[in-house]
Amino acid sequence: MKILIVDDEPLARERLRQMLAALADVQVVGEADNGLRALELAETLRPDAILLDISMPVMDGLEAARHLAGQQPRPAVVFCTAYDAHALAAFEAAAVDYLVKPVRRERLFEALDRVARIGPSTLPGPDGRPRSHLCARLRGSLRLIPIDDIRYLHAEEKYVVVHHARGEDLVEDSLKTLESEFGDRFLRIHRSCLIAREQLTELRRSPDGRVFAILRDGSDSLEVSRRCVPALREKIRT
Protein backbone atom coordinates (compact mmCIF):
# COMPACT_ATOMS: atom_id res chain seq x y z
CA MET A 1 0.00 0.00 0.00
CA LYS A 2 1.40 3.40 -1.02
CA ILE A 3 0.93 6.13 1.59
CA LEU A 4 1.18 9.93 1.37
CA ILE A 5 1.65 11.76 4.69
CA VAL A 6 0.26 15.32 4.89
CA ASP A 7 0.85 17.47 7.97
CA ASP A 8 2.35 20.92 8.47
CA GLU A 9 4.25 19.72 11.55
CA PRO A 10 7.52 17.89 10.68
CA LEU A 11 7.51 15.98 13.98
CA ALA A 12 4.00 14.67 13.32
CA ARG A 13 5.05 13.46 9.86
CA GLU A 14 8.14 11.80 11.34
CA ARG A 15 6.09 10.00 14.01
CA LEU A 16 3.70 8.58 11.40
CA ARG A 17 6.59 7.55 9.18
CA GLN A 18 8.26 5.68 12.05
CA MET A 19 5.09 3.77 12.89
CA LEU A 20 4.51 2.86 9.25
CA ALA A 21 8.05 1.50 8.99
CA ALA A 22 6.89 -1.51 11.00
CA LEU A 23 4.54 -2.59 8.18
CA ALA A 24 6.23 -4.58 5.44
CA ASP A 25 3.44 -4.03 2.92
CA VAL A 26 3.34 -0.24 3.35
CA GLN A 27 5.48 2.28 1.46
CA VAL A 28 5.57 6.00 2.26
CA VAL A 29 5.83 7.54 -1.21
CA GLY A 30 5.83 11.20 -0.19
CA GLU A 31 5.12 13.95 2.32
CA ALA A 32 3.41 17.35 2.11
CA ASP A 33 2.89 20.22 4.54
CA ASN A 34 -0.38 21.65 3.14
CA GLY A 35 -3.47 20.56 1.26
CA LEU A 36 -2.53 22.10 -2.08
CA ARG A 37 0.81 20.30 -2.14
CA ALA A 38 -1.04 17.10 -1.22
CA LEU A 39 -3.22 17.44 -4.35
CA GLU A 40 -0.14 17.95 -6.52
CA LEU A 41 1.65 14.91 -5.09
CA ALA A 42 -1.47 12.74 -5.20
CA GLU A 43 -1.72 13.30 -8.94
CA THR A 44 1.88 12.27 -9.61
CA LEU A 45 2.48 9.64 -6.93
CA ARG A 46 -0.95 7.93 -7.04
CA PRO A 47 -1.03 6.85 -3.37
CA ASP A 48 -3.55 4.28 -2.19
CA ALA A 49 -4.17 6.23 1.01
CA ILE A 50 -3.44 9.70 2.41
CA LEU A 51 -2.89 10.42 6.10
CA LEU A 52 -4.24 13.95 6.19
CA ASP A 53 -4.12 16.63 8.86
CA ILE A 54 -6.99 19.14 8.96
CA SER A 55 -5.61 22.43 10.25
CA MET A 56 -2.95 23.47 7.71
CA PRO A 57 -1.94 26.60 5.79
CA VAL A 58 -2.75 27.30 2.11
CA MET A 59 -5.51 24.67 1.97
CA ASP A 60 -6.88 22.76 4.95
CA GLY A 61 -7.46 19.03 5.00
CA LEU A 62 -11.24 19.15 4.62
CA GLU A 63 -11.00 21.22 1.45
CA ALA A 64 -8.23 18.96 0.11
CA ALA A 65 -10.36 15.87 0.75
CA ARG A 66 -13.19 17.29 -1.37
CA HIS A 67 -10.78 17.81 -4.26
CA LEU A 68 -9.19 14.38 -3.79
CA ALA A 69 -12.62 12.77 -4.10
CA GLY A 70 -12.61 13.80 -7.76
CA GLN A 71 -9.24 12.27 -8.62
CA GLN A 72 -8.93 9.03 -10.57
CA PRO A 73 -7.76 6.72 -9.18
CA ARG A 74 -9.16 8.08 -5.97
CA PRO A 75 -7.05 7.70 -2.81
CA ALA A 76 -8.56 6.76 0.52
CA VAL A 77 -8.38 9.55 3.12
CA VAL A 78 -7.60 8.98 6.80
CA PHE A 79 -7.63 12.16 8.85
CA CYS A 80 -5.01 12.57 11.58
CA THR A 81 -5.76 15.66 13.64
CA ALA A 82 -5.33 17.13 17.10
CA TYR A 83 -9.02 18.03 17.38
CA ASP A 84 -12.05 15.76 17.60
CA ALA A 85 -14.47 18.61 16.78
CA HIS A 86 -14.04 18.02 13.02
CA ALA A 87 -15.10 14.37 13.03
CA LEU A 88 -18.53 14.88 11.47
CA ALA A 89 -17.17 17.19 8.77
CA ALA A 90 -14.38 14.70 8.07
CA PHE A 91 -16.75 11.82 7.37
CA GLU A 92 -18.96 14.12 5.31
CA ALA A 93 -15.83 14.76 3.22
CA ALA A 94 -15.62 11.00 2.54
CA ALA A 95 -12.93 10.01 5.06
CA VAL A 96 -12.40 6.32 5.71
CA ASP A 97 -11.29 6.97 9.30
CA TYR A 98 -10.55 9.78 11.75
CA LEU A 99 -7.59 9.54 14.14
CA VAL A 100 -6.96 11.97 16.98
CA LYS A 101 -3.37 12.96 17.81
CA PRO A 102 -1.27 11.65 19.32
CA VAL A 103 -2.10 8.85 16.89
CA ARG A 104 -1.82 5.42 18.50
CA ARG A 105 -0.09 2.65 16.57
CA GLU A 106 -3.06 0.27 16.98
CA ARG A 107 -5.55 2.81 15.63
CA LEU A 108 -3.32 3.69 12.68
CA PHE A 109 -2.94 0.02 11.72
CA GLU A 110 -6.67 -0.49 12.17
CA ALA A 111 -7.40 2.43 9.82
CA LEU A 112 -5.06 1.08 7.15
CA ASP A 113 -6.61 -2.36 7.48
CA ARG A 114 -9.99 -0.72 6.86
CA VAL A 115 -8.59 0.97 3.74
CA ALA A 116 -7.35 -2.37 2.45
CA ARG A 117 -10.68 -4.08 3.09
CA ILE A 118 -12.81 -1.32 1.54
CA GLY A 119 -10.86 -0.99 -1.70
CA PRO A 120 -11.05 1.96 -4.13
CA SER A 121 -14.32 0.88 -5.76
CA THR A 122 -16.31 1.12 -2.53
CA LEU A 123 -14.87 4.22 -0.91
CA PRO A 124 -17.53 6.43 0.72
CA GLY A 125 -18.83 9.28 -1.40
CA PRO A 126 -18.40 12.94 -0.49
CA ASP A 127 -21.31 14.91 0.89
CA GLY A 128 -21.56 17.15 -2.17
CA ARG A 129 -20.70 20.25 -0.17
CA PRO A 130 -19.27 22.84 -2.58
CA ARG A 131 -15.57 23.59 -2.55
CA SER A 132 -14.27 27.00 -1.56
CA HIS A 133 -11.67 27.01 -4.36
CA LEU A 134 -11.11 25.63 -7.83
CA CYS A 135 -7.73 24.18 -8.74
CA ALA A 136 -6.12 25.18 -12.02
CA ARG A 137 -3.07 23.53 -13.55
CA LEU A 138 -0.15 25.86 -14.16
CA ARG A 139 3.08 24.51 -15.63
CA GLY A 140 3.03 21.31 -13.63
CA SER A 141 1.68 22.81 -10.41
CA LEU A 142 -1.77 23.77 -9.13
CA ARG A 143 -3.16 27.25 -8.52
CA LEU A 144 -6.00 27.93 -6.08
CA ILE A 145 -8.82 30.17 -7.32
CA PRO A 146 -11.24 31.30 -4.58
CA ILE A 147 -14.85 30.87 -5.69
CA ASP A 148 -15.54 34.40 -4.40
CA ASP A 149 -13.03 35.80 -6.92
CA ILE A 150 -14.61 34.21 -10.00
CA ARG A 151 -16.40 36.56 -12.40
CA TYR A 152 -17.52 34.05 -15.00
CA LEU A 153 -16.80 30.58 -16.42
CA HIS A 154 -16.59 29.90 -20.13
CA ALA A 155 -16.34 26.45 -21.73
CA GLU A 156 -13.78 26.06 -24.50
CA GLU A 157 -13.32 22.59 -26.02
CA LYS A 158 -12.45 20.19 -23.16
CA TYR A 159 -11.53 22.89 -20.63
CA VAL A 160 -13.32 25.66 -18.78
CA VAL A 161 -11.72 29.10 -18.68
CA VAL A 162 -12.08 30.70 -15.26
CA HIS A 163 -12.16 34.49 -15.44
CA HIS A 164 -11.33 35.80 -12.00
CA ALA A 165 -10.02 38.83 -10.15
CA ARG A 166 -6.38 38.09 -11.02
CA GLY A 167 -6.76 36.97 -14.64
CA GLU A 168 -7.67 33.70 -16.37
CA ASP A 169 -6.93 30.04 -15.72
CA LEU A 170 -8.00 26.69 -17.15
CA VAL A 171 -9.71 23.99 -15.08
CA GLU A 172 -10.68 20.47 -16.10
CA ASP A 173 -14.09 20.52 -14.40
CA SER A 174 -16.97 20.50 -16.87
CA LEU A 175 -19.35 23.45 -16.96
CA LYS A 176 -22.22 21.11 -16.11
CA THR A 177 -20.40 19.83 -13.03
CA LEU A 178 -19.59 23.36 -11.86
CA GLU A 179 -23.19 24.46 -12.35
CA SER A 180 -24.38 21.50 -10.29
CA GLU A 181 -21.91 22.21 -7.48
CA PHE A 182 -22.24 26.00 -7.41
CA GLY A 183 -25.76 26.52 -8.76
CA ASP A 184 -26.59 29.05 -6.06
CA ARG A 185 -23.54 31.16 -6.92
CA PHE A 186 -23.60 31.18 -10.74
CA LEU A 187 -26.19 31.88 -13.43
CA ARG A 188 -26.27 30.26 -16.85
CA ILE A 189 -26.44 32.82 -19.65
CA HIS A 190 -25.44 30.52 -22.50
CA ARG A 191 -24.81 26.82 -23.00
CA SER A 192 -21.10 27.60 -22.73
CA CYS A 193 -21.07 30.30 -20.04
CA LEU A 194 -21.91 30.79 -16.34
CA ILE A 195 -21.57 34.14 -14.59
CA ALA A 196 -21.26 34.89 -10.89
CA ARG A 197 -24.65 36.04 -9.61
CA GLU A 198 -23.12 38.91 -7.64
CA GLN A 199 -21.25 40.14 -10.73
CA LEU A 200 -24.41 40.72 -12.79
CA THR A 201 -25.55 44.36 -12.69
CA GLU A 202 -28.06 44.45 -15.57
CA LEU A 203 -29.33 42.87 -18.75
CA ARG A 204 -29.01 45.25 -21.68
CA ARG A 205 -30.68 44.87 -25.07
CA SER A 206 -28.74 46.01 -28.14
CA PRO A 207 -30.33 47.79 -31.14
CA ASP A 208 -30.36 44.50 -33.08
CA GLY A 209 -32.35 42.78 -30.32
CA ARG A 210 -29.57 40.78 -28.69
CA VAL A 211 -29.34 40.69 -24.87
CA PHE A 212 -26.08 41.16 -22.98
CA ALA A 213 -25.17 40.58 -19.34
CA ILE A 214 -23.27 43.56 -17.95
CA LEU A 215 -20.77 42.70 -15.23
CA ARG A 216 -20.08 44.78 -12.17
CA ASP A 217 -16.67 46.12 -13.17
CA GLY A 218 -17.92 47.00 -16.66
CA SER A 219 -15.00 45.32 -18.43
CA ASP A 220 -17.09 42.60 -20.06
CA SER A 221 -20.52 42.34 -21.63
CA LEU A 222 -21.47 38.74 -22.33
CA GLU A 223 -24.17 37.76 -24.78
CA VAL A 224 -27.15 35.90 -23.31
CA SER A 225 -28.76 33.21 -25.45
CA ARG A 226 -32.45 33.68 -26.22
CA ARG A 227 -33.23 30.41 -24.47
CA CYS A 228 -31.63 31.62 -21.23
CA VAL A 229 -33.17 35.12 -21.12
CA PRO A 230 -36.55 34.24 -19.48
CA ALA A 231 -35.00 32.08 -16.74
CA LEU A 232 -32.27 34.63 -16.14
CA ARG A 233 -34.76 37.47 -15.72
CA GLU A 234 -36.73 35.35 -13.26
CA LYS A 235 -33.66 34.54 -11.20
CA ILE A 236 -32.66 38.21 -11.08
CA ARG A 237 -36.07 39.10 -9.63
CA THR A 238 -35.82 36.52 -6.82
- Give 216's contacts (C-beta < 8 A, 6+ positions apart): 198, 199, 200, 201
Among 2.40.37.10, 3.40.50.300, 2.40.50.1020, 2.40.50.180, name the CATH number for the domain at 147-237: 2.40.50.1020
Report pLDDT for 90: 65
Mean pLDDT of 189-218: 89
Whole-angstrom distance, CA of residue 40 vs CA of residue 227:
40
At 24, the pLDDT band (50, 70, 90 cuts) reads very high
Question: Angle formed by the axes of helices 105-118 and 10-20, to 10°?
Answer: 70
Amino acid at 107: R
Residue-range domain boundaries for the chain: 2-122, 147-237
pLDDT value at 76 more than 90? yes
Report pLDDT for 89: 67
How confident is the model over 121-175, as pLDDT tens digits? 556 555 556 788 888 877 667 788 889 999 999 998 888 999 998 899 999 888 9
Class of domain 2-122 (CATH, top level): alpha beta
Higher-confidence residue: 233 or 26? Answer: 26
